[in-house]
A and B are shown apart, each in its own frame.
Chain A
Amino acid sequence: MGFRSYLLKRLFYAVVVLFVILTFNYVLFRIMPGDPEKMILDPNFTPEAKMELRRQYGLDDPPLTQYLNYMKSLLTFDLGMSFSTRRLVWSELRERLPNTIVLFMVTFVGTAALGISLGVSSAANRGKFSEQLVMGAGLFAHAVPSFFIQLLLLLLFGYYWPILPIHGTISAPPPDGAWAQFLDRAWHLILPAGSNIVIGFGSWALYTRNTMLEALGQDYIVTARAKGLPRREILYHHSLRSVLPPIVTLIFMSLPGAVSGAVITESIFSWHGVGRYLLDATLQMDYPAAQGAFYLIALAVIISNLLADIAYGLVDPRIRVGAGAKR
């Protein structure tokens, strides 16, 4: 199987996944108990007003028509109108997306940078403090509930020692001037992104360390070492290069996890983002909004998975040269 057919297969999977998620999404939100009209109604509404609303939201069409309309509209990003804000769901999402992306990127870059560098250094210095730290942080990442750490940080820096902002992405109102506004944003990022990094870097470090150690045990490294190459060169030149592919994959693969984390982080720090929107909409039974947010998140995950597959295909020689690609 060559790279092309591998790619086609991954693409096919992505499309199937998308279809499954869309259908799942549709079915889910139709089997919710009760009638969606309930939540848009006011006790003052007359039966005529109710009818009008049903018509406006297309709740009177037969299910199949609704399904086809739904598929068509989702693919064109027409996500309908939110019950609670009476606005286009897409406008709502577009407004929140930048915040989520900023938080994600900062968290991600911070976590990856800290995690990978610590992982490499602990692989190089076995038995030293950095290794202990990495082992501890890895355990921490696996065993401590993230929301608990975030709550404690919030309590500590938001209330007990009130030096950091505890809600929102900017001050209300923000200061004047581009530079001041940038700093203001950064200031608001400290707690949410910082807490995510503290929680997350451990698993990256552990993974990097383990992959490095495995690479260091490989024949060619042993050979290089036997040849008397400097330790640093072996470490950074040879072994780091060999562990890059799995790390690249990990980068993309970590996105679904990051999405889950985003819901919690955004909810704790009142971050105006997509994850919190999904949670709010779900709890308020705002179907179009919840559906739209879910769709967007699923789409992001599918695309990142596809990218991970492609990256994996590009860096994995077995696929590149057309060997069997059973995963």
Chain B
Amino acid sequence: MTQNQRTAEKAQVAKAAAAAAPRRLTFWEQYRRKPQGVAGLLIVALYIAVAVFAPVVSKYDPMEDMYLADNIAVPIWLTKVNPRYRELPPTMQFNLGFDSWEVTAADGVEVTGWEFEDAEGISIDLPATEAPEPVEGEDGADTPPDSEDSGELFSIVSNVQWDPFGLVTSGQGTSRDEADEAVSLDFSFDYDYKKPQTFSASMGYHIDAPSDASTFIELDLVTPSGKAFDLWDTTAYGSVSNGSFIVDARDFDLKMRLGISFFDEPADVVFSERGTYTVRVKARSDSVSGPVNVRIEPVSFGVLGLAHGLLGTDHMGSDLWAQLVYGTRIALAIGLSAAFIAVFIGTSVGLIAGYLGGIVDEVLMGVVDVLLSIPTMPVLIVLGALFGKSVMNVVILLALFSWMGIARIVRSQTLSLKERTFVEAAKAAGGSSNYIMVSHILPNTMPLIFANLVLRIPSAILTEASLSFLGLGDPRVPTWGRMLQNARQFGAFTKMAWWWMLPPGIALTGLAVAFVFIGNSVNEILNPRYRERS
């Protein structure tokens, strides 16, 4: 039986079948009947929705927003469910403008509001002191320095910022009696949680004073039982413009100040009680020649939470939910683009090899054979390390090493198609090779290509995740593989932070399963042979 006869016969059979059947079901009608396929589509749709509306679904940026809470904070809802995590503090941040403070001022001291950017700062007018005595107990280090130094290029302001060991001020519990303070600002807040790890305070200040005046400012934290911890203080001479400071529980100088070791947590000392804490700013001055004006910018005081958001935070205090959500975008982008490129290359090569045949076919299939024999993962590892770890490179590499299977399938399909009557007819009508390949053969291989495209997507996503996990991914892009890698590297295990490890793995699995479902369903419809088998 010749090829032509066979085709003709087949065509006849098909015609008869078509006539017998009431109506051929459309692809979609068939697809709708596959529960797997529908489930797959729904899942993919969900992922796409999350990817598109990522900024709505998550209010934080996955990489830029750091220290939203402490490192490896637990999800908020877990504190309600699991007794182990009950009463962990959330992040608290106070920005304390003029209205927030309760002011206690000595006679003659005037405390008013002061416009500062969009908030209101505090302006304190301290009167000139009457007794021109030097401050007791202060030695020469605190006297105004020689003016000749001011000409030096490398001299610095009288600020105790650069003092790693807190030795210069060593203000450990050395605050004066309350009576001594000209002014004291109090802000109280309730704290009814387990003790935090990290807290911080920062403040900017300006002093207008005669050159012989010395001004003292101090920031205390007063515990519910009334213990006052001097977190920071300074003695400034004359005027200061744009003075500022930050104290943070992670700073060694604060640890030194509190008399604890490098490995101890200041919060263990300062935040060990529950109840009403008070942030207190105190100021006074010794100024004979005239009044002193101290302007304090809104003070910020904060506690980094140990519970945060839907999925807690990573080792840098970034939001894990945001990483998961934005990871969807990247996973879809990587999967789709790698699969499309691979299918494009594979289809082109398969079409050309199958249609042209001969030496072209030999060479192209030779290339396919060679590439198929190269172990993909090692090549990707080596190339990934070589060409930099950008997502773009990974996509291209993934595509370059995964088109061969498609090329083979398309080629064999083309081989059988080019013998068909309609192709022969087109050839006889003088159609060019390009024309025939694109308009006659390609459309007929489409179902096959589509099924392959869908099945390539999950494998591209999983391969990229493996590469990221091995440390070959782009560190600035929050992929799911990278989340898992970070979880492994930065201590999610020993903290049993399953909320860090499970979600990316499950998200990966869900997406891959969905595409496999779709691919299988499509295959079942389009390739009846496959249907018979399952």
Genuine A/B complex = yes
Interface residues of A, Cβ cutoff 8 Å to B: 13-14, 16-17, 20-21, 28, 31-32, 139, 142-148, 151-152, 155, 159-160, 210, 213-214, 217, 256, 259-261, 263-264, 267, 275, 278-279, 282-283, 285, 290, 293-294, 297-298, 301-302, 305
The answer on a CB contact under 8 Å between B378 and A151 is no
User: A139 CA to B377 CA in the complex, in Å?
Assistant: 21
- Which of B15-23, B275-283, B379-387, B431-439 lies at the binding interface? B379-387
User: A139 CA to B517 CA in the complex, in Å?
Assistant: 9
> Beta-carbon contacts of B495-515 to A below 8 Å, as 1s and 0s?
010000100110011001101
User: A62 CA to B307 CA in the complex, in Å?
Assistant: 61
Q: Say whether, besides A13-B370, A283-B471, A28 and B462 are in contact (CB < 8 Å).
A: no
The answer on a CB contact under 8 Å between A256 and B382 is no
Please give me the 3 A-B residue pairs with the lowest Cβ-Cβ distance, nearest first.
A260-B377, A143-B512, A148-B505
User: A222 CA to B59 CA in the complex, in Å?
Assistant: 63
List of B residues within 8 angstroms of A14 by Cβ: 373
The answer on a CB contact under 8 Å between A214 and B382 is no
User: A278 CA to B378 CA in the complex, in Å?
Assistant: 8
Q: Point out the residue from A146, A151, A285 that lies within 8 Å of B501, measured CB to CB.
A: A151
Q: Point out the residue from A143, A147, A298 that lies within 8 Å of B375, measured CB to CB.
A: A298
- Shortest distance in angstroms between B324's beta carbon and chain A's nearest beta carbon? 14
List of B residues within 8 angstroms of A144 by Cβ: 505, 508-509, 512
Q: Say whether, besides A142-B512, A144-B512, A159-B494, A263 and B470 are in contact (CB < 8 Å).
A: yes
List of B residues within 8 angstroms of A264 by Cβ: 377, 466, 469-470
Q: Point out the residue from A17, A139, A302 that lies within 8 Å of B513, measured CB to CB.
A: A139
User: A237 CA to B218 CA in the complex, in Å?
Assistant: 91
List of A residues within 8 angstroms of B366 by Cβ: 13, 16
> Is the C-beta of B484 less than 8 angstroms from some C-beta in chain A?
yes
Q: Point out the residue from A145, A260, A302 that lies within 8 Å of B373, measured CB to CB.
A: A302
List of A residues within 8 angstroms of B377 by Cβ: 259-261, 263-264
User: A266 CA to B163 CA in the complex, in Å?
Assistant: 47
Residue of B373, B381, B466, B508 with most partner-chain A CB within 10 A: B373
Q: Say whether, besides A31-B386, A283-B471, A148 and B370 are in contact (CB < 8 Å).
A: no
The answer on a CB contact under 8 Å between A263 and B369 is no
- Shortest distance in angstroms between B2's beta carbon and chain A's nearest beta carbon? 18
The answer on a CB contact under 8 Å between A147 and B493 is no
Q: Point out the residue from B378, B513, B532 that lies within 8 Å of A143, measured CB to CB.
A: B513
Tell me the residues in window 340-385 of chain B with beta carbons closer than 8 Å to chain A beta carbons: 366, 369-370, 372-379, 381-383, 385
User: A28 CA to B372 CA in the complex, in Å?
Assistant: 19
- Shortest distance in angstroms between B50's beta carbon and chain A's nearest beta carbon? 18
Q: Point out the residue from B375, B472, B481 that lies within 8 Å of A260, measured CB to CB.
A: B375
| Given A142-B458, A145-B505, A151-B488, 7 new contacts (CB under 8 A) | A145-B465, A148-B504, A148-B508, A151-B501, A259-B375, A263-B470, A301-B375
The answer on a CB contact under 8 Å between A282 and B381 is yes
The answer on a CB contact under 8 Å between B516 and A145 is no
The answer on a CB contact under 8 Å between B375 and A17 is no
Q: Say whether, besides A32-B386, A260-B376, A263-B470, A148 and B381 are in contact (CB < 8 Å).
A: no
List of B residues within 8 angstroms of A17 by Cβ: 369-370, 373-374
List of A residues within 8 angstroms of B513 by Cβ: 139, 143
The answer on a CB contact under 8 Å between A294 and B382 is yes
The answer on a CB contact under 8 Å between B470 and A143 is no
List of B residues within 8 angstroms of A146 by Cβ: 466
Q: Point out the residue from A145, A155, A294, A302 that lies within 8 Å of B378, measured CB to CB.
A: A294
User: Which residue of chain A is the closest to B361 with respect to CB atoms?
Assistant: A326
List of A residues within 8 angstroms of B375 by Cβ: 256, 259-260, 297-298, 301
> Beta-carbon contacts of B508-529 to A below 8 Å, as 1s and 0s?
1100110110000000000000
Q: Say whether, besides A143-B509, A145-B505, A210-B533, A298 and B484 are in contact (CB < 8 Å).
A: no
> Is the C-beta of B534 less than 8 angstroms from some C-beta in chain A?
yes
List of B residues within 8 angstroms of A159 by Cβ: 493-494, 496
The answer on a CB contact under 8 Å between B369 and A143 is no
The answer on a CB contact under 8 Å between A214 and B533 is yes
The answer on a CB contact under 8 Å between A298 and B466 is no
User: Which residue of chain B is the closest to A263 with respect to CB atoms?
Assistant: B377
Q: Say whether, besides A21-B374, A297-B375, A147 and B501 are in contact (CB < 8 Å).
A: no
- Shortest distance in angstroms between B312's beta carbon and chain A's nearest beta carbon? 17
User: Which residue of chain B is the closest to A213 with respect to CB atoms?
Assistant: B533
Q: Point out the residue from B374, B378, B383, B509 that lies within 8 Å of A263, measured CB to CB.
A: B378
Please name 7 pairs of A and B residues whose Cβ atoms are closer than 8 Å in the assembled complex, sorted by A.
A28-B382, A142-B516, A144-B512, A145-B505, A263-B470, A297-B375, A298-B374
Q: Say whether, besides A13-B369, A155-B493, A305-B373, A143 and B458 are in contact (CB < 8 Å).
A: yes
Tell me the residues in window 44-93 of chain B with beta carbons closer than 8 Å to chain A beta carbons: none
The answer on a CB contact under 8 Å between B494 and A20 is no
